[in-house]
Structure 1
Amino acid sequence: MTLSTQHQMLIEQRVTNEAKSTGAAYLIWLFLGGLGGHRFYLGKTGSAVVQLLMFIIGWATLVIGVGAFILIALGIWVLVDAFMIPGMIQAHKEKVRQGLTMNAMMAVGAARQEPTI
């Protein structure tokens, strides 16, 4: 079953409306990257919590030397994230598009079914 052009246009409009902003993601990365702020914004909550914990534990254990290694690892991770942000945004758009397409197909299928007596 395929969707009409009108349904597809409505889905693409919703995807555009619900898409995360690349500019906002990079601003959050710039100012709150070490705290995982950009990952929270992009819906990657689990890894965002890990980054936040690495930040806290790294600074808390910096005095004994272990924290330096944790903060260096976090810094590398955050730097790599700068290159991954566009892909994360695209993956979010595709996830939204698939969900909306599935819902539209179910609604169209339900509307086409004739009531049984």
Structure 2
Amino acid sequence: MSETSQMIYCRACGKQLHISATSCPGCGATQVPPSASDKRILPAMLLCFFFGFLGVHRFYVGKIGTGILQLLTFGGLGIWAFIDFIMIVVSAFTDAEGNKITQWT
């Protein structure tokens, strides 16, 4: 891969930076890796903990179809919601596009 193909633009200020940069050297904004979701773990975890039996956390990440299924089955009688909760906490949960939710806040 050439050096120019490994460059991206800062999500906040637009400055060009390397794809592996975790924050922008110009403005300090945290950069999300291309394969990571812009959704956050903390809200998904709280929604799953308090409203997991209603599938609210799945609506939050854009998984509308499975959110409706969890709503109708009360989170798979709690088992499905519990598994989702564990997956969210260990950063293995994905959003609707298949990107992992990796950032806490």
3-state SS of paired residue (1:84):
helix
Q: Does 1:13 align with 2:31?
A: yes
Looking at structure 1, the residues matched to 48 and 41 of structure 2 have their Cα atoms a distance apart, in angstroms, of 10
Looking at structure 2, the residues matched to 28 and 53 of structure 1 have their Cα atoms a distance apart, in angstroms, of 17
Could you report, residue by residue, the CA deviation over 1:16-39 in whole angstroms, capped at 9, with x for unpaired residues?
895211111111111211110011
Quote the residue 1:83 is aligned against. 86
**CA distance change for structure 1 residues 26 and 14 in 2, over 3 Å: closer, same or farther?**
closer
Q: Does 1:41 align with 2:60?
A: yes
Structure having greater relative contact order (Cα 8 Å, sep ≥ 6): 1
Q: Does 1:53 align with 2:72?
A: yes
Q: Aligned to 1:23, which of 42, 59, 80?
A: 42
Percent pairwise identity: 38
Name the TM-score, length of structure 1 as normaliser.
Answer: 0.50
Count of aligned residue pairs for this structure pair = 77
Looking at structure 1, the residues matched to 18 and 42 of structure 2 have their Cα atoms a distance apart, in angstroms, of 29
Instruction: Read off the aligned partner of 2:52 and give its amino acid letter.
Output: G
Could you report, residue by residue, the CA deviation over 1:80-100 in whole angstroms, capped at 9, with x for unpaired residues?
111122212484249xxxxxx
Moved segments of 4+, more than 3 Å: 14-18
Kindly indicate whether the alpha-carbon contact (under 8 Å) linking 2:6 and 2:18 is maintained by their aligned counterparts in 1: yes
RMSD over aligned CA atoms reads 3.3
Unpaired segments ≥5 residues, structure 1 = 56-70, 95-117
Kindly indicate whether the alpha-carbon contact (under 8 Å) linking 2:37 and 2:99 is maintained by their aligned counterparts in 1: no
Structure number having the greater helix percentage: 1
